[in-house]
Amino acid sequence: QKVIDGEEMDSLKLKKRKEYEDNIKKNRLNIGNWIKYAKWEESNADLDRARSVFERALDTDYRVVSLWLKYVEMEMRHRQINHARNVFDRAVTLLPRANQFWYKYTYMEELMENISGARNVFERWMEWRPDEQAWLSFIKMELRYKEVNRARSIYERFVTVHPDVQNWIRFARFEENHSNIANARLVYERAVEFFGETELDSKLVVAFARFEESCREYERARTIYKFAIDKLCGKDNHLLLEEYGKFEK
Based on the number of CB atoms within 10 Å of its own CB, is 18 exposed (0-12), middle (13-18) or buried (19 or more)? exposed
In the chain, the percentage of residues whose pLDDT exceeds 70 is: 96
Q: What is the pTM of this model?
A: 0.88
Q: How many C-beta atoms surround the C-beta of residue 19 within 10 A?
A: 11
Task: Provide the residue range defining the domain that includes 123.
Answer: 112-162
Residue 9, domain member (yes or no): no
Both 193 and 121 in one domain: the answer is no
Residue 101, domain member (yes or no): no
Both 140 and 171 in one domain: the answer is no
155-164 pLDDT, tens digit each: 999 999 999 9
Both 225 and 243 in one domain: the answer is yes
Both 40 and 88 in one domain: the answer is yes
Both 122 and 174 in one domain: the answer is no
Give the pLDDT band of residue 248 (cuts 50, 70, 90): confident
Residue 1, domain member (yes or no): no
Averaged pLDDT for residues 153-172:
98
| Number of domains forming the structure of the chain | 3
Q: How many C-beta atoms surround the C-beta of residue 131 within 10 A?
A: 11
Q: CB within 8 A of 197, min separation 6: which ones?
A: 231
Residue 32, domain member (yes or no): yes
Q: CB within 8 A of 8, min separation 6: which ones?
A: none
99-139 pLDDT, tens digit each: 999 999 999 999 999 999 999 999 999 999 999 999 999 99
Residue 3, domain member (yes or no): no
219-245 pLDDT, tens digit each: 999 999 988 888 876 566 778 888 888
| pLDDT reported for residue 18 | 92
113, 82 Cβ separation under 8 angstroms: no
User: Given a cut of 60, is residue 1 above it in pLDDT?
Assistant: no
- End residue of a domain, out of 95, 128, 147: 95
Give backbone dihedrals phi and psi of 234, rounded to 5 degrees, phi first: 90, -15
Residue 5, domain member (yes or no): no
| pLDDT reported for residue 244 | 83
Q: The domain that contains 55 carries what CATH number? A: 1.25.40
Residue type, 240: L
Both 151 and 173 in one domain: the answer is no
Both 152 and 171 in one domain: the answer is no
| pLDDT reported for residue 198 | 83
Both 212 and 179 in one domain: the answer is yes
54, 34 Cβ separation under 8 angstroms: yes
In the chain, the percentage of residues whose pLDDT exceeds 90 is: 78
